[in-house]
């Protein structure tokens, strides 16, 4: 299975396979938008997901060639802002009745006509067929327009669109292995951040906002009068533990609102469910910002980890160091591909 993450600054692709209980990382590759195309690969504006299918399919083809990826079946990950996720309750019913009930209820929860969306859902609580057991449904709706965009890109890239998946679901699958804990899973990319609450393996809530690594780079380049590339390097190397006082100070000023948002999400979750989050996971390229993990732990008084999405895979040991470094950026692609191995 191939998993594709079209991020703002980069496209990442992984090819994975399954053998019995095990999984192999066959190939992986990445291309940065800057090296091909001055603009970003996708936009934050709702309803306009991919900027140019010409550039994107060219980039995908380049990665597939360079990484020698032969598999055609691909799962495309789409950003959370282009999908609608809700959970709702259904009365006890049989497995056969569930699809129609979900379809019927969906129209009350999603802001688009059901006929213009593609629905995907799963039962996250309760047992169908048990007449004592109400059901909780988690539903994802993807606008058909986005499905068509992905179909076009897949076709032009020589791939078959196997499925489409929301990023939040993918990273949950890729990173949350402990199904007993409540985890706050935060994906900090280049343009946006999502804060997700995953309770016993189920994605409960997902919030997005537009803080991310791009702003940090921009701030460093402004205060030091450096090019974006130079600022990027300094930011990635020194981050919050920079000895240049101005750099650290500026970065803290930008990171603090994120920490505040996370705090709010944790409090909100506690008030709704009377449950504490056990651990915080950071992922996305910006998770690697030096000092960020420690700062989160200090302020939020929680255990903070940067989980490695490749840790369950078999791969040549020589890759260990490289994979560890790039892992946070690949969680979305790995999660999407894993979805295809589940079925």
- Nearest distance, CB of residue 202 and Mg ion, angstroms: 22
Question: Taking CB within 5 to 8 Å according to partner kind, which of Mg ion, ligand ATP, none is near residue 217?
Answer: ligand ATP
What number of chain residues touch Mg ion (CB under 5 A)? Answer: 2
286 scored as a contact of ligand ATP (CB under 6 A): yes
Q: Which stretch binds ligand ATP (CB under 6 A): 62-70, 186-194, 269-277, 316-324?
A: 186-194
Could you tell me how far CA 266 lies from the centroid of its own chain?
Answer: 19
Among 1, 3, 4, 7, binds Mg ion (CB under 5 A): 7
Among 135, 190, 262, 337, binds ligand ATP (CB under 6 A): 190
The tokens for 324 are 């560890």
Question: How far is it, in rounded angstroms, from Cα 185 to Cα 44?
Answer: 21
The tokens for 107 are 């129209």
Q: Contacts by 209-218 with C-beta closer than 8 Å and gap 24+? A: 209/261, 210/44, 211/254, 211/257, 211/258, 211/261, 212/188, 212/284, 212/286, 213/188, 213/189, 213/284, 213/285, 213/286, 213/289, 214/8, 214/9, 214/190, 215/254, 216/251, 216/254, 216/255, 216/286, 216/289
Question: How far is it, in rounded angstroms, from Cα 334 to Cα 189?
Answer: 15
Question: How far is it, in rounded angstroms, from Cα 140 to Cα 146?
Answer: 13
In the range 202-241, which residues lie near ligand ATP by CB under 6 A? 212-214, 217, 232, 235-236, 239
Site string for Mg ion, 142-181 (x = CB under 5 A): ----------------------------------------
7 scored as a contact of ligand ATP (CB under 6 A): yes
80 scored as a contact of ligand ATP (CB under 6 A): no
- Nearest distance, CB of residue 246 and ligand ATP, angstroms: 17
Which of 201, 200, 172, 177 is closest to 187 using CA atoms? 172
Say if residues 282 and 296 touch (Cβ distance below 8 Å). yes
**Is beta strand 279-283 parallel, antiparallel or unpaired with respect to 303-305?**
parallel
Question: Taking CB within 5 to 8 Å according to partner kind, which of Mg ion, ligand ATP, none is near residue 232?
Answer: ligand ATP
Beta-bridge partners for 10: 32
Question: Taking CB within 5 to 8 Å according to partner kind, which of Mg ion, ligand ATP, none is near residue 196?
Answer: none
Among 71, 182, 196, 288, binds ligand ATP (CB under 6 A): 288
The residues that touch Mg ion, with contacts defined as CB under 5 A, are 7, 189
Could you list the residues that contact ligand ATP (CB under 6 A)? 7-10, 189-192, 212-214, 217, 232, 235-236, 239, 284-286, 288-289, 329
């Amino acid at each position: 299975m191939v998993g594709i993450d079209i991020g703002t600054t980069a496209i990442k692709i992984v090819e994975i396979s399954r053998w019995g209980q095990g999984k192999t990382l066959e190939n992986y590759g990445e291309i940065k938008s800057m090296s091909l195309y001055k603009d970003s690969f996708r936009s934050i504006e709702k309803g306009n997901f991919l900027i140019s299918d010409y550039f994107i399919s060219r980039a995908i083809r380049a990665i597939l060639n360079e990484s020698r990826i032969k598999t055609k079946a691909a799962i495309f990950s789409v950003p959370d802002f282009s999908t609608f996720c809700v959970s709702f309750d259904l009365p006890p019913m049989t497995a056969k009745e569930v699809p129609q009930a979900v379809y019927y209820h969906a129209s009350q929860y999603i802001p688009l006509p059901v006929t213009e969306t593609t629905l995907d859902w799963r039962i996250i609580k309760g047992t169908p067929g048990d007449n004592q057991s109400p059901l909780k449904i988690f539903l994802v709706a993807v606008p058909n327009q986005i499905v068509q965009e992905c179909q076009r890109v897949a076709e032009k890239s020589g791939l078959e669109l196997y499925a489409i998946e929301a990023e939040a679901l993918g990273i949950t699958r890729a990173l949350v292995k402990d199904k007993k804990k409540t985890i706050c899973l935060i994906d900090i990319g280049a343009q946006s951040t999502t804060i997700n609450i995953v309770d016993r393996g189920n994605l409960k809530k997902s919030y997005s906002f537009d803080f991310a690594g791009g702003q940090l780079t921009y701030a460093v380049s402004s205060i030091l009068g450096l090019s974006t590339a130079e600022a990027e390097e300094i930011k990635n190397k020194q981050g919050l533990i920079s000895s240049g006082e101005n750099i650290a100070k500026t970065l803290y000023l930008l990171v603090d609102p994120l920490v505040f948002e996370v705090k709010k999400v944790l409090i909100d979750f506690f008030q709704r469910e009377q449950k504490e989050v056990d651990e915080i996971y950071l992922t996305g390229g910006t998770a690697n910002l030096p000092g960020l993990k420690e700062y989160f732990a200090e302020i939020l008084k929680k255990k903070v980890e940067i989980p490695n999405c490749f840790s369950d895979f078999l791969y040549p040991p020589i890759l260990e160091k490289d994979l560890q470094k790039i892992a946070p950026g690949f969680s979305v692609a790995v999660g999407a591909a894993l979805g295809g191995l589940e079925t």
